[in-house]
Structure 1
């Protein structure tokens, strides 16, 4: 019996999410703090790319505005984090503390599906932000984190929480509109 190719739609975000996951896992630095910085840069670059893809899907105006704001915020955050990069020998062991939150974020985001790209993007970005917060919490539980890195973590956590509230409200609004049958 000839084999049949399995064909299914991986969705518009699949390759960007997979690249972000791979880039985060391979962003190894000199210490737990430097690993967090490198992984978070890859995280933000991935979030910006996922948001650019959402914009290519011609979303409603409100979602497009949120996606544009997300691209700018993610790019700006990556540039700020680059200032914290350290040179030195790679410390692979200090990167292992981030494996679980990276995997959890990736699994949660990849499990999101549906037919409405705007809703999918909102839900994926909420998981994206949760992942950043979890990675930050892991780092903050470590000893001897440089003060500048702690400050960056705290600023990032505040921004992620604020962004999640906006995204969750947009998701609730979208679901309410669908329930009422509004465009």
Structure 2
């Protein structure tokens, strides 16, 4: 009887110890997942800054609609990635615009801010195509090297959405 109780106790101990070794869903991640979120947050933030310029500078309903959709899609993605970084215990390092694919230099952003009408539309579409291509490049890196299933799912979503938007933007030029 004592042997059975000892064996049962040992089995329970193993179950508790091994149960503690698992990670909560969404917690498994690697350095590439962290880098993806740390880079994509400011990248998406710049896209939001660019989209917010549209209502005061464009009268093209298709450009206005696209900018609105970009804002609605990317703002929640920023919140999601910031949540991951908090959960993962990772901060946001300071980055320059030149350190990420597709980021617009400050001088280009100033030119965009100064433009209006059809000139603005052309510049905005050209810059946003380049910006989206940079996001697609970063998302492809996440798919190739990332380990977190949620981050990889977001990367796939970004690729699909932004490739479709690039096609749309090219048709509007």
Task: Determine if the TM-score, normalized by the shorter chain, exceeds 0.5.
Answer: yes
Task: Give the aligned length.
Answer: 136
Matched residue, 1:119: 122
Secondary structure of residue in 2 paired with 1:141: helix
Measured on the aligned residues, the alpha-carbon RMSD in Å equals 3.3
Matched residue, 2:149: 147
Cα shift readout 1:69-106 (whole Å, capped 9, x = no counterpart): 2221221322233343243367x8xxxxxx98715644
For 2:65 and 2:41, how far apart are their aligned partners in 1? 23
Cα shift readout 1:22-80 (whole Å, capped 9, x = no counterpart): xxxxxxxx822112112212111210111111222143222212222222122132223
Structure with greater helix share of residues: 2
Change (3 A) 1:131 1:69: same
Matched residue, 1:168: 170
Change (3 A) 1:101 1:126: farther
Is the 8 Å Cα contact of residues 81 and 152 (structure 1) preserved in structure 2? no
| Structure 2 runs not aligned, ≥5 long | 1-29
For the pair shown, the structure with the greater C-alpha radius of gyration is: 2
For 2:59 and 2:170, how far apart are their aligned partners in 1? 17
| Structure 1 runs not aligned, ≥5 long | 1-29, 93-98, 172-183
Matched residue, 2:33: 33
Displaced runs of 4 or more, over 6 A? 111-115
Secondary structure of residue in 1 paired with 2:59: coil
TM-score normalised by the chain length of structure 1: 0.60
